[in-house]
Structure 1
Amino acid sequence: MSRSIEKGTVAYFSLDALSIHGAVIKQGVFKRSASVQLAKGAYVGGRIEDENAFGLAFDELCRKLKVRKGMVCAVDMAETEVLSRKVEIPSTIPKDEIRGYLFMEIGSSIILPFDDVAFDYEVLGETETKTEVMLHAVSVDLTKAIRAYMKKRGFQLKKIVPRPIAIANGVARLETLDPLKSTLLWHVTPFAHQLLVLEEGQVRFIRAIETDLPYRAETTDGIVTYTYSGSKETLATQTDEWLNELARFLDFYRYSLRTDGRPIDELLVSGTVPNLDDLVQTIESEAMVPVKRIADPLPLSHATPLSHQMLPLLGMATLDKEHDANFINSTDVTLRWPIIASLLALLIGGGATGYLFYEVNELKRNEAQVEEQLQLVRIYQTEQVNSKGQQVLSLDQTVTALTAEERWAVPALRALTEQLPPTGYVLTYNYADGSLMSVRTQFETLADLNAFQRSLLNDPRFENVKLLGVTTETKAETEQEETDTDEPLSPSVLDSTNEPLPRYIGEFTFTFIDAEPETPEGETPDGETPDGETEETTDEEVVSE
């Protein structure tokens, strides 16, 4: 993988929890560099938490670097906030379509712990069936925050580079790496340590482990150094954990990552912890792997010594001609126009579909109206064909049929009227099947109602006579009262003087048999009762409300 130098003059910045490091590099040569301390809690987890404290330190750094507003700049992203993963994609996908393919697969087949992702990639190799890609992803919220801050300070932010890639490029700039060997780069800082595998000049594996140790920052001759402030036991424990992690990774690479079981050929160690030399001596004494320490200060010509804190800045100024990991390109430059074009195409397609749908519905509606008008014309023509004679004949047939139809209610009403007292009359009647009837009759007195009920019970033409209820009604009232036939009538009800013009409405049901009435034994044909009997003692009066 050939590398070149970034053209032009660019300001580079590297941020961590205790300090900010910056450099102005022109054509790969350090012109100015500086580091400043940060207040605790000003920058945490890739975010600026205290903008005032961070701004004071950043202004001091800009004065030392003599940078001006409008200058192009680049920033690295902390290794603990970047997720790097090797992904296999079909080899049939052209190289210029890989970004779009990854964009569509993220969230479905490629699961990442971010809701909105800024990503970039590097092609590692190709076979007949698959293409290996190193995917770098970060939360888009972090990139937006950095870009907004740099824009606020008047800088043109050009790149946001994953720190592991920046460190790997910086080491490749300083050391000559054998493309036939597998090189492991171990970069140790007070905040995290990284394990980077380089094969054929490319980063094939990245593992970053966050650490939480009590370090404090001190500035000496413009250089920020980190000093351990915890107990010796804690430091010894942390050192053992680092070495154990290194040993586990060496075994993991040999027996899991490499199909041929080949071990790591060389270990390069860099970092900013003060006990880095002790780690190198321990590795050499245990003969874990051939080890080499990156020179400190960096072997570059500069007015002031360059510590390993400047290693990411050197890497950001080194370019890969085929590809350069940059989260800004992945979110703005490359995906912006395809997304806009897709949205425009979707909008135009949706509008065309809606217009066609409206036109089809309009045609169907017009067709239905024409069909309805034709149907009305056909009906009118059919009616005109019928002559007046046919209409008269149809009417005559209807009258004849109605005249010949038997009217079942006439005999029943005639017989019913015969039984009514002079003051009673039928209000309504209903009949079914020619025999079952229900009538509502009105009387001026309850005595007339009781007499009418007895007449129906004694007449053989009326069977199954039932009194369903009696209601009273006066001209002074609009409401009706229900009177139960099972309860005796009170004197106030019988006395017609209590209420003006009472009316008693009884509802009866019965079955009518059309036959001549027979005079019951002991009764006169006129319906008079025998001597010695009164009308009140002949039958039992039953009135229901």
Structure 2
Amino acid sequence: MSILSSNKRITNIIFNDHSIRYVEVRQQKPPVPLKWGEKLLPSGIIQEGKIVDQVTLSMILEECIDDWKIKRRKVRFLVPDPLVMIRKVKVPDEVRPDELNGYLYLELGTSIHLPYEEPVFETVLLPKKGEQREALLFAAPQQHVMEYAQLLSGLKLKPMAADISPLALYRLYHQTDLANKDERLLMIQFDLDRVFICIFEQQYPIFMHHFPIQFRLEDWDIKVTRSGAHRFQYNGEAAELHSQLEDFYKEVSKLMDFYRYSLYQGNQQITKVLLNGDHPKLQIILQEMQQRFEIPTHTIDASQWAAGKTSLFPHSHFLALGLGLKEV
């Protein structure tokens, strides 16, 4: 992870179905968030990570640019989770690392099938195990990724890098010194309207899974905190929220079993869980998981980074902070 000088003033922006967030970061260890903000989105502007109402989103983002004073900035952004897929693919021995992208591009549509015709993708060659060579393929539909890049550039921002949430969060996790090279990590991003899960082996993301959860804005009272984030207080049916959380715990248990028995025939299992997200009940979810599962479950603690203003840094902005650690 490179250290960027603070005068480069790069802004890190996160889009999801219910908000736009930004963070400016001083890259050091530990990282220091300098400025941050959040704007809630009306329902239906972004759905399943896809921009539905480009005109309204552009107007809202333009207001954010003025309010946050980030005109003409260089920006990084995350490709929304529902658009992203990770696939492990076999690679012939004769393919050199510098030929990997070209080889996989030629294989798309023949030996490698993706659910969209025109992807944008990145590849990483995995450490060789025995005679088998494998690579990770990170892919997303080009059309929808370019819509975000064009949205930013159309408002005179300068998109210079895109990333995906598991890599952004893992960078932040790695900075906390909790990461262990040999662990098998189940990373969970639990947001207001969606859960995203990624499994890491030896610091590589090898499996992704996400699913929506029911979210109705009218079920929540919203207040703005001193840190600039939004505090959600649930006012809906308690039994309904309880049922949602129970479904989540069952899904996590099934994924752990799938990893242990389907992928490794009982010979390997998840060794650690990392929980993050913007869900208002995140601490309750953490405590419940620690009681239900024998596997150590952690969350990232912002208070270890610095005193003063940083201690107010909201949990909801951790992804944007991790994005700020990306090399450019």
- On whether the aligned pair clears a TM of 0.5, the verdict is yes
**Match 1:111 to one of 81, 97, 113:** 113
Segments of structure 1 that go 5 or more residues without pairing to the other structure are 325-545
Residue number in structure 2 paired with 1:253: 259
Residue number in structure 2 paired with 1:145: 147
Residue number in structure 2 paired with 1:480: none
Contact kept? 1:5, 1:319, Cα under 8 Å: no
Change (3 A) 1:98 1:283: same
Residue number in structure 1 paired with 2:10: 10
Query: Any idea what the Cα deviations from partners look like across 1:110-133, whole Å, max 9, x if unmatched?
Result: 111102111112222224533222
Question: Structure 1 vs Structure 2: percent identity of aligned residues?
Answer: 20
Deviation at 1:54, TM superposition (A): 2.3
Distance in 1 of aligned mates of 2:190 and 2:138: 21
Q: CA RMSD in A?
A: 2.4
Residue number in structure 2 paired with 1:378: none
Residue number in structure 2 paired with 1:241: 247
Residue number in structure 1 paired with 2:19: 19
Distance in 2 of aligned mates of 1:6 and 1:123: 26
Mapping for residues 130-529 of structure 1, pairs under 5 Å: 130-215=132-217, 216=220, 218-221=223-226, 222-258=228-264, 261-295=267-301, 299-300=305-306, 303=309, 305-319=312-326
Corresponding residue SS for 2:10: strand
Residue number in structure 2 paired with 1:31: 34
Change (3 A) 1:32 1:167: same
Query: Any idea what the Cα deviations from partners look like across 1:446-467, whole Å, max 9, x if unmatched?
Result: xxxxxxxxxxxxxxxxxxxxxx
* AA matched with 1:234: E
Residue number in structure 2 paired with 1:41: 44
Distance in 1 of aligned mates of 2:326 and 2:18: 28
Deviation at 1:14, TM superposition (A): 0.3
Change (3 A) 1:300 1:212: farther
* AA matched with 1:219: V
Contact kept? 2:198, 2:206, Cα under 8 Å: yes
Distance in 2 of aligned mates of 1:24 and 1:182: 31
Change (3 A) 1:130 1:5: farther
Q: Which has the higher contact order (CA 8 A, sep 6+)?
A: 2
* AA matched with 2:164: P
Change (3 A) 1:45 1:260: closer
Query: Any idea what the Cα deviations from partners look like across 1:71-115, whole Å, max 9, x if unmatched?
Result: 211110111111111212113210000000111111111111102
**Match 1:54 to one of 57, 71, 81:** 57
Segments of structure 2 that go 5 or more residues without pairing to the other structure are none
Contact kept? 1:181, 1:200, Cα under 8 Å: yes
Contact kept? 2:24, 2:324, Cα under 8 Å: no
Deviation at 1:12, TM superposition (A): 0.8
Change (3 A) 1:298 1:88: farther
* AA matched with 2:274: L
Query: Any idea what the Cα deviations from partners look like across 1:472-513, whole Å, max 9, x if unmatched?
Result: xxxxxxxxxxxxxxxxxxxxxxxxxxxxxxxxxxxxxxxxxx
Aligned residues: 318
Corresponding residue SS for 1:4: coil
Distance in 2 of aligned mates of 1:296 and 1:233: 31
TM-score by length of 2: 0.87
* AA matched with 1:294: I
Residue number in structure 2 paired with 1:79: 81
Distance in 2 of aligned mates of 1:49 and 1:138: 17
Radius of gyration: which is bigger? 1
TM-score by length of 1: 0.54
